[in-house]
Structure 1
Amino acid sequence: MIDLPLSVLEVAMVEHGRPATEALANCAGFGDELEHLGYGRIWFAEHHHSPAIGAFPPAVMTAHVAATTSSIRVGSGGVLAPNHAPVVVAEQFTTLAALHPGRIDLGIGRGPGTFHEGTARALRRGAGPVTDDEYRGDVAATLGFLAEFEFGALPEPWLLASSGAGAELAAALGLPIAFAHHIRPDNTVPSLERYRAAFRPSRWCEEPRVLVCVQVVCGETEEQVAEMARPMEVVKLGLLRGHSDEAFPSPEAAAARRFTSEEEDLLAGFRAHQAEGTPDHVGRRFAQLADATGADELMLVTPVYHLGDRIRSFELVSKLATGGARV
């Protein structure tokens, strides 16, 4: 059992051989299921030009799911600051907060959301990769516009991070931090230590507040979990090596894929930091992760091929929360 709020990051995996519209429909209707299961929030990630992940804008998905649910918090995990004018981000999310007061989150991140160089440059209108100073300025400007454009309610801002530099920026700006343990698990503990040591209270957050995002696949048996997790492992190999050209394969196609011993070791090293297994195993991993990180909340990303299997994983995990999953 785990005595922490549980939330969900939706990355909108596009299943190979099926249209992106099906992934969009699944993604759009997912909030109802999570609300029923008692999860505290659902965030939508920003991705571009990927064969495995849908390019569904977080602001659009947030608007739709907030309108079709009643209590779950909804937001971005995240809007990627280099790709957007701060004033537009602030306008979008203050409007959403006014329409759905007390339910909108604005997670802000740095990455381009794509490994495709042409797409990254198009998003930046031809500019090169963002510098540290530019990123800090974009985040600060977005926060300033949020306060200026308040329509009676504000979104809750979070800074997404996967490194010590991101953790230090969250601390300097007095923001709660959402750490991408599912991307760079080796960075998690030292980065959060830097965050807590350097944190400065602000109007957004009076004391350090930590959300840790972890990859979770939960099933009744280990064999079922291995089958469910295998498609993402095919994609993950590319991501771990800095490219994203693999489609999200069916379980049957993924089972037929043979990994080298080097690839198996790479995946095993990643898997050891996440939470994949039966409910008992996932519960133990949550407790270990909470103890190691001091997290105030865990966010689950569950990239499983079949929607029914994905929902079942969330059902099993929701029963591990001693006080319910609500934030």
Structure 2
Amino acid sequence: MPHLPLSALEVAVVQRDFPPSASLRNCEAAAREFDRLGYHRLWFAEHHHSPAIGVFPPPIMTAHIAAATSHLRVGSGGVLAPNHAPLTVAEQFTTLAALHEGRIDLGIGRGPGTFHEGTARALRRGADPATDEEYRRDVAAILDHLRECSLGQLPEPWLLASSEAGAAVAALLGLPIAVAHHIRPQNTVRVLGRYREEFRPSAWREDPYALLCVETVCADTEERAAELKRPMDIIKSRLLAGQAEEPFVSPAAAADHRFTAEESEQLAAFGAHQAYGTPESVASRLTQLADATAADELMLVTPVYDVADRVRSFELVAKALAAGS
């Protein structure tokens, strides 16, 4: 694998044994380490009404973390267009771009950012979910407003996608694409194929550019990596069963949890597309994914309980990939 930019996606992991506000402080501590380790960009995902993933609006986190770091590109992964007025999104991110020149990204996505129906409707002020056409118009409007609101420096716009419909929007508007392989890995090949086939050069990009986001948990041993990802596996199994999310339990507490045969099969099927284990095995897996998808950039998301373990995972991956490049 040629040397690819390596980036990070952060979610505010809520620990059962700590107040939710601790997740925000942990994100800042991690960001400083990502900056030190030489990661290219750090994005924050929009979430609402989740006991497991704290609420941290991407514009606010982007502003705070950009001020707390020196080199990272910082931004949204993403702002969910159906939840916001296009003009508001443009004003927020053009202001951030003016304050932190050359360091602000605006990743735009479609999902509601919540599994709670009442919250989703509240975000939409009671409106039904956006149609494909409404979403395309919202994204196009955000791009138009970016130019109108420019304060001399523009954020870099991205389109987040996990489906062919999202790929088509990114291609039509000539945007770089961030593929949510960590959510729907079964769609990745089709998403990238359609994006590259239909891409139209634009004022934003002359050529297609694809970032691949992979769930990654790395530790010094395979056993420790398995322990670290087990709390997230519990949350995934609850979601697959249609049950409510809960805060992350510690790896020690998660060790006592027993998965059903069906849950274990589902988790194994998902995990086969991600990257877990020692630095050597994770580097090998990420290299395989990059080669298979011809990705231009890799982004890692590491939803583990303790911030020190999360940072350690990112450190081990960066060193392993650098050693092999």
Q: TM-score, normalised by structure 2?
A: 0.97
Matching residue of 1:186: 186
1:208 corresponds in structure 2 to 208
Query: Following the alignment from structure 2 to structure 1, what is the Cα–Cα distance between the partners of residues 322 and 253?
Result: 38
Q: In 2, are the aligned partners of 1:318 and 1:324 still within 8 Å (CA)?
A: no
- What are the residue-to-residue correspondences of 1:1-327 with 2, within 5 Å? 3-241=3-241, 244-322=244-322
Name which structure has the greater RCO, CA cutoff 8 Å, separation 6+.
Answer: 1
What letter corresponds to residue 46 of structure 1 in structure 2? E
The offset of 1:252, in angstroms, is 2.0
Gap regions ≥5 residues in structure 1: none
1:322 match: secondary structure? helix
Assess if the C-alpha contact under 8 Å between 1:234 and 1:246 holds in 2.
Answer: no
Contact 1:2 1:321 in 2 (8 A): no
| Partner SS for 1:201 | coil
Q: Deviations over 1:129-182 (max 9, x none)?
A: 111111111100000000111111000000000011101110001000000000
Matched residue count: 325
Measure the CA separation in 2 of the matches of 1:168 and 1:249.
39
CA gap 1:135/1:309 in 2 versus in 1, 3 angstroms? same
Asked whether the 8 Å contact 1:4–1:321 carries over to 2, the reply is no
The whole-number CA distance in structure 1 between the counterparts of 2:234 and 2:224 is 17
Q: Structure 1: how far apart are the matches of 2:22 and 2:291?
A: 38
The structural deviation recorded for 1:323 is: 8.6
Task: Give, in angstroms, the shift of residue 247 of structure 1.
Answer: 2.4
The residue identity in structure 2 corresponding to 1:189 is: V
- RMSD over aligned CA atoms reads 1.5
Deviation at 1:324, TM superposition (A): 11
Which SS does the other structure have where 1:4 is aligned?
coil
Cα offset, 1:184, TM superposition: 0.2
Residues 78-137 of structure 1 deviation map (CA, whole Å, 9 limit, x = unaligned): 000011000000000000000001000000000000010110010001111111111111
Q: Distance in 2 between matches of 1:323 and 1:158?
A: 30
For 1:183-239, what per-residue CA distance to the aligned partner results, in whole angstroms no more than 9, with x for missing partners? 000000111011000000000111000000000000111110110010010112234
Structure 2, gaps ≥5 residues long: none
Counterpart CA distance in 2 for 1:54 and 1:301 is: 15
